[in-house]
Copies of this chain bind each other. A is one copy, B any other.
Amino acid sequence: MALDPLDVLRTVPLFKQVPEADLVAFARLVRERRRPRGGMILSQGDPGDALFLIRSGQVKVSVVAEDGREVILSVLGAGSFFGELALLDDEPRSAHVIAMEDTVLLQLHREDFRGRLKLSPELSISLLRELSQRLRRADDTIASLMLLDVNGRIANLLLELAREEGGETGTRITRRLTHASLGQMVGASRETVSRTMRNLVLRNVISVTRREIVLLDIQALRLAAQRAI
């Protein structure tokens, strides 16, 4: 249970290219934080002075409108990090981050992080690569919001979720997400998600059990997701 922070750092993809010596330096700088399910980790608008690595658990990055409607920008699990934007460009936090399960984090303060960044080009490059990927995903989301109907966006999301947890042709989603959450990810109401998923089940494209979604017909999903409506 009381894992050495250093061992945790070694499992973080962001640090894969970073030399061992740098990791040791990092390990001395991080601090463990815990948040219960539902707990707020950071809030939109706050000044950002720390980066977080997820040791275990799951968090959502979301934006909340005045009337309470919520948009989930991403869901991150163990090995991911967040909070880097505010460190890099000195702007306030751009979104809320909320624990979806009991979560253990490693916190790294701005100056410590920036200091390592200057000294370790490998770290910069890993980080650049990761931000590039996030930017691609964001652009992809924008394009699907503009080009696809709800059915296509849900197909897209299911493929993406399966890929994240099961490699290139992942076919199972075990992460537990409510219809409401799925709706907040694709910009649809809970009711519409419910009807759309029902439809996919009836057409034998997916199967849904209590704690997992299985993608039965990936081809059909790809078609719905790629096809411009």
Contact = CB atoms under 8 A, between A and B. Distances in A.
Contacts of A135: 85, 131, 134-135, 138
Interface string A59-73: 000010111010101
A118 interface: yes
Interface stretch (A6-14, A32-40, A88-96, A156-164): A88-96
Interface residues of A, number: 41
A177 interface: no
Contacts of A63: 139, 143, 147
Contacts of A91: 132-133, 136
Interface stretch (A19-27, A119-127, A190-198): A119-127
B228 A89 contact: no
Q: Secondary structure of the A side of the interface?
A: helix
A227 B66 contact: yes
A129 B73 contact: no
A84 B139 CA distance: 14
Contacts of A131: 88, 128, 131-132, 135
Closest 8 CB pairs of A and B: A65-B228, A138-B138, A124-B124, A146-B187, A89-B132, A88-B132, A131-B131, A145-B145
24 contacts: A65-B228, A67-B228, A71-B146, A73-B142, A85-B135, A88-B125, A88-B131, A89-B129, A89-B132, A94-B139, A94-B140, A95-B139, A117-B124, A118-B121, A118-B125, A121-B121, A127-B128, A128-B128, A135-B138, A141-B142, A142-B142, A142-B145, A145-B145, A145-B187
